[in-house]
Chain A
Amino acid sequence: MPVWEKYILPASLQEALEAAASAPGTARFIAGGTDLLLDLQQGRHPPVHTLIDITALAETTALEIRSDELFIGAAVPLSRIVQSPLVIEHAQALAEASALIGGPQVRNTASLGGNVCHALPAADGAIALLALDASAEIADRRGCRRAPLGELFLGPGRSALDPRAELLTGFYLPLKSSGQASAHRRVMRPQGVAIAILNMAIWLARHDDLIQDIRIAVGPAGPKPLRAVQTEGFLRGKPYRKETIAPGLDVLLAETHFRTSPHRATAEYRRRLAGVLLEDALQAAWQRAGESSEHQTVI
């Protein structure tokens, strides 16, 4: 009994949306499918009638500057993101996160949109995009709309998109200005390729020795990829010093909900790692921001 009946490769966005709406059973969009195909084959995803491949659409495969933003199509393979000079310049955390997903062969197939739509709370791509303040572009038969990335997630493995009517076409990211930078760090089990034990992405803007603005995303720290807004609020406007980071970690631990997962880590271990990752990611982003603004402060 096949877990899908039909596979189609539309040449236009409109055709893809029509196919989803008119499929005689359930339909799912697919862009690479390194997660979705396995979930279907292994019974973690209910059978679908039609798979609609979106990797041949102009809208989902662009990677370019559009006025004052960086656009990354949902079907762009991760290996292209890792190597893109635009991503490395404007969204270093995303380049770093994408380089950690799967092995080289998987990154040649898997897409950023798939990483996000799978809606896992520790998806490296989603964590980096959250810290970078990305917005999602969503197409339906009436046109396109934008939504903050965080609105795409309902819970572990559950995306808010309507599979019959809505197609994630890509992501818009703000361009980096002087004094701004980002970094992504993660800890995983040493063997093989797997989802993170804990990951964190930080974007910040520095001014002299102050953290002028900051965004922190961390996972798995709850049912969805989490923006640590209270920690951000605590650190914003404070000097970058050890004495600032220690109480910042207390705030982070208070707003995250680390759990024990049977094959990966205990909650206690994750709480300890959170401090390590906060320090590492903050330091990397701080130094990069210094390189881009000529100010250097080292603690």
Chain B
Amino acid sequence: MEKNLIPISITVNGRRVELEVQPQHTLLKVLQNQLDLIGSKECCGEGECGACTILANGRAINSCLVLAVEADGWEIVTIEGLAEDERLDPLQEAFLKAGAVQCGYCIPGMVMSAKYLLMKNPHPSEDEVRQGLAGNLCRCAGYNRIIAAVQLAASEKEAA
């Protein structure tokens, strides 16, 4: 297998990294196993649950559904890239304030999808939040508080 390794260069959370990856490894696997970024989760592995959501070139994607080799040259932001030093992103703060986190497994993906939504639409209606999070599932069924958290983050942004 070693002979098949492919060199890629990606920017992850502002840091440029050079890697050698196997052609059949997903981007999620490489983030977790080669870069120790274990915040993005694999749950369904088939694009239904969104637990692996990251931003790639400013767009939310399922990192379990793209190959690491495809990511050559991409700018990637994972859940680990939102906080600055010890200061959480306002969206993460809003999730805490709204009590939106239960078991927590879906939360990294929820936050990244919400981040993408707010980048495109800073003041979404409740319906737009629901549409924006349509690719993310929460098995605790904590949707109402998650949606409230996204709206809280949007309203605080407005006030700031």
User: A26 at the A/B interface (Cβ < 8 Å)?
Assistant: no
Q: Out of B59, B67, B136, name the residue touching A79 (CB < 8 Å).
A: B59
CB neighbours (8 Å) of A38 from chain B are 46-47, 65
Given contacts A6-B4, A33-B67, contact A106 B62 (CB under 8 A): yes
0/1 interface trace, chain B 128-142, chain A, CB 8 Å (1 if under): 000110111100000
CB neighbours (8 Å) of A51 from chain B are 23
Count of residues in B whose CB is under 8 Å from the partner chain: 33
Residues of chain A from 24 to 46 with CB closer than 8 A to chain B in the complex: 33-34, 37-38, 41-42
A108 adjacent to B23 (CB under 8 Å): no
B65 adjacent to A109 (CB under 8 Å): yes
User: A4 at the A/B interface (Cβ < 8 Å)?
Assistant: yes
Q: Out of B22, B26, B48, name the residue touching A193 (CB < 8 Å).
A: B48
User: B80 at the A/B interface (Cβ < 8 Å)?
Assistant: no
B65 adjacent to A37 (CB under 8 Å): yes
A3 adjacent to B24 (CB under 8 Å): yes
B135 adjacent to A106 (CB under 8 Å): yes
Given contacts A105-B60, A109-B61, contact A193 B4 (CB under 8 A): no
CB neighbours (8 Å) of A5 from chain B are 4, 23
Q: What bracket does the count of chain A residues touching chain B fall in?
A: 20 to 34
A31 shortest CB reach to chain B, Å: 11
B67 adjacent to A104 (CB under 8 Å): no
A53 adjacent to B135 (CB under 8 Å): no
Q: How far is the CA of A103 from the CA of B117 in the complex (A)?
A: 13
Q: How far is the CA of A51 from the CA of B22 in the complex (A)?
A: 13
A7 adjacent to B69 (CB under 8 Å): yes
User: B70 at the A/B interface (Cβ < 8 Å)?
Assistant: yes
29 contacts between A and B (CB under 8 A): A2-B1, A4-B23, A6-B4, A7-B6, A7-B23, A7-B67, A7-B69, A9-B69, A34-B65, A37-B26, A38-B46, A53-B70, A102-B47, A103-B47, A103-B48, A103-B134, A103-B135, A103-B136, A104-B60, A105-B60, A105-B61, A105-B62, A105-B135, A108-B56, A108-B60, A109-B62, A193-B47, A193-B48, A193-B135
- Residues of B whose CB lies within 8 Å of any CB of A are 1, 4, 6, 22-24, 26, 45-48, 50, 53, 56, 59-62, 65-67, 69-70, 72, 113, 116-117, 131-132, 134-137
